[in-house]
Amino acid sequence: MPTPSAPVTPPLPYTPRYPIRTERLDLRPVTPDDLPAIHAYQRRPEVCRYLYWGPLDEAGSRASVAAKAARTTLREPGDLLQLAVVVRESGTLVGDVTFVWRSSEHRQGGIGYVFHPDHAGHGYATEASRALLKLGFEELHLHRVQAELDGRNTASARLLERLGMRREGHLRENEFLDGEWSDEVVYAMLAREWRARQDERARQR
Ligand SMILES: CC(C)(COP(=O)(O)OP(=O)(O)OC[C@H]1O[C@@H](n2cnc3c(N)ncnc32)[C@H](O)[C@@H]1OP(=O)(O)O)[C@@H](O)C(=O)NCCC(=O)NCCS
C-alpha cells in the first residue's frame, strides 16, 4: 500500500492508452476536426447555464478545441486530460470529459463533463465519467476524486449519485455568477469506496 505522500504511479509523464474504451464509448484525444461537433453544444446557452464559460462563438470553440487537443498527458499536478467521447458504433461525438490531476502529495483528482443535449438520457455521460474514476483510482492510484457543480445543476448531481459519489458539501452563495449569488455543491469518492462499488457491481453480474 503506498504511503499518502507516495508519488503517483505509473511514472510521469503519464499518457493513457487511447482510446479509453467503455462498453459503448471511446474516449480519445480531441482533434481540430472535432470543431463542428463540439461547437454544436458549446454554443447552446442551456448547455453552459451552470458552467463558468460560454456560450461560445465559433472562434471561442476553436480556441477551446485547440486547448483540449493539447491536454492528453499528465506531467505535473494541475494538468488536465480533456477527451472527446464518441459512441463507438456510430462514430458520433456526443460530448467531452475532463480529468484533473490535482495533487500528487495528497493523491487527489477531479472530473467534469459536458454533453450535447441531443444525446442526453442514454447514460453516456455516466459511462464516460465512470471511466475517469477508473483511471484515477486504478491507473493513478488516487485516494480521492472530487466534482464541483452549481447547486441548481440537478442533472449533474444525479449523474454523480449514479456513480456512487457522496454529496459532501453545499456551499451557500459562495460564487457570484451572471449577476447573482449561486451555491456550489461538492461530491467526492474515496479509493476504498470505488473498490467496494466495483466488488458490488461484480457480484451483481
Ligand atoms: C450533466 C450532463 C452531462 C448530464 O447528462 P445526462 O444525459 O443526464 O447524463 P447521462 O448521459 O449519464 O444520462 C443519464 C440519464 O439517462 C438515463 N439512462 C438511460 N440509459 C442509461 C444507462 N445505460 N446508464 C445510465 N443512465 C441511463 C438515466 O436514467 C438518466 O436519466 P435521468 O437523469 O432523467 O434519470 C448534461 O446535462 C450536460 O452536459 N449539462 C451541461 C453541462 C454541465 O452542466 N456539465 C456539468 C458541470 S458540473
H/E run at residue 158? helix 154-162
**Domain membership flag for residue 154:** yes
Number of domains composing the chain: 1
Closest CA to ligand 1's atom 41: 47
Atom of ligand 1 nearest to the CA of 95: 39
pLDDT digits (tens, 9 = 90+) for 127-171: 999 999 999 999 999 999 999 999 999 999 999 999 999 999 999
Closest CA to ligand 1's atom 37: 155
The mean per-residue pLDDT over the stretch 64-73 comes to 98
**Domain membership flag for residue 89:** yes
**Domain membership flag for residue 13:** no
Q: CA of 94: how far to CAs of 50, 78, 81, 118, in Å?
A: 19, 26, 17, 8
pLDDT digits (tens, 9 = 90+) for 5-42: 555 567 899 999 999 999 999 999 999 999 999 999 99
- Residue 55: give its domain's CATH number: 3.40.630.30
Write down the pLDDT at residue 2: 55
Closest CA to ligand 1's atom 22: 123
Say if ligand 1 is within 6 A of residue 155 CB.
Answer: yes
Contact 60, 44 (CB under 8 A): no
* Owning domain of residue 182: 20-204
